[in-house]
Chains A and B, each alone.
Chain A
Amino acid sequence: MATSEENIYDEIEIEDMTYDSTLQIYHYPCPCGDRFEISLDDLRDGETDIGICPSCSLQIRVIYEVDDLPKPESEQGKREAVTMSDQQVASLAAVA
């Protein structure tokens, strides 16, 4: 859905959002009863700063600093996909 200023319900600081470590999303209540959601990946990539509500047309803009987001290596006990570079794969294969 296109972002128009009319659909931006509010600008929300990420400190006021709740982080769901299982789904790896930040969420915030929407006045319709559902919640605005944005994925950690989207925030890290800088792809979008817009949180979408699955149940209605309202959206939020998330105010955050990329540096303040959880770093991949500091996430403890969470399942995460580890992607290795070709060089890392090659060096692991060399010692196997």
Chain B
Amino acid sequence: MLYALGSNGRGQLGLGHYDDVAQPTEVALNSPTSTLERAKIAAGGNHTLLLLATGEVYATGLDVHHRSAHDQSLADTSTTSTYKRVQVTNGEQSVQIKFCSATWSASTFVTADDSVYVCGNGASGELGLGLGVSDTTTPIVLNSFPPADTTIVSLAACMGHTAVVLSTGEVYGWGNGRKGQLGLPPQRRWSPCRIEGVPFKAVRAVCGREFTVIAGDPEEGKFVVLGSNKCRVKSGAPASITGWKDIAASWGSIFVLLDSGRLLAWGRDDHGQLGPPNLDSVELFAAGSEHALAYTGAGKLRAWGWGEHGNCGPGVGTESDTKGRCNGIEVEGLVVGLGAGCATSWVFTKAPTNDES
């Protein structure tokens, strides 16, 4: 099952309507629930991508992938409140997708054979299709990327930029780089450019609103934060972090989940985005724009941060955030995956087996 809660004014929760919800609400999908195993969510400002393990991608919200050639701007683009298949084709047939990511109003798809397709709108180079190209109405392939004899091992994006880690350990990026989040000099990048200033072989990247986190092998613990230092996301970072199993970034904060289940967090905390001090061991984690979700080893689903749109669940309080504490969310079944976007939250569950109930 897939549950969604939070901001829904453009249908980005896929619930069949356009109202915000503060309770986890089941997303009706016209397919067997088994297809949700190992599914992933990527979220833009008003559109959501659902990537299945089969390599199919579905999208809901602002319909950035099905635009008419007459659309003059995003204002003309229609919305959908239920998931629709995104057709990514190489001219002959649909291609299998292994990674997807979203900037504010664009999507990036990496295929199983390492082609990169982009679709949507972006005024700062978010499409990576070359100088001045700010709009596409259907998915288009990036030419000459990735470089020959490389594959893509990690894809990440946030509001204004995208980062890609190659099998060689190099990192490339495109989009808004005006704060140095794509390396120096700080400027927009309209095509994939190699990100300099990474003195180690990278294995993973995650993006915040104006920064990029690049991490090396967890055993060595090397990582670097490029871009803006607002809320001390750079200067507040540990020198190295070994033994991590996951990293994530909100628009202003960075989270590292250690093998031990301990969650390290630093950066913006004006609405409690960094979470409570006494959090249990964390199994699963997802970071949204200014909130986060965690599923603990004790089987509890927790949410914290800025929850004005119901994305942290009900009872978040008149101040619309969870400063100093976290919120418990009740959902049926075992939680097997989490997703989070712009004041939006998703929970993947499965029915417990006899052993697990």
Contacts and interface: CB of A to CB of B under 8 A. Distances in A.
A91 B98 CA distance: 70
A57 B271 CA distance: 13
A10 B9 contact: no
B182 to A, nearest CB: 14
Interface in A24-78: 29-35, 55-57
B350 to A, nearest CB: 28
Dominant secondary structure of chain B at its interface with chain A: loop
B308 A56 contact: yes
A33 B270 contact: no
Contacts of A22: 73, 75
Given A31-B251, A33-B45, A16 B7 contact: no
The range of chain B's interface size is: 20 to 34
Contacts of A6: 270
A80 interface: no
B270 A32 contact: no
A32 B104 contact: no
Contacts of B343: 31-33, 56
Interface of B: 7, 9-10, 12, 45-46, 73, 75, 104, 123, 159, 176, 178, 230, 251, 270, 289-290, 306, 308-309, 320, 341-344
20 contacts: A6-B270, A16-B178, A20-B73, A29-B342, A30-B342, A31-B251, A31-B342, A31-B343, A32-B289, A32-B343, A33-B12, A33-B309, A33-B341, A33-B343, A33-B344, A35-B45, A55-B309, A56-B309, A56-B343, A57-B308
Interface of A: 6, 10, 15-16, 18, 20, 22, 29-35, 55-57
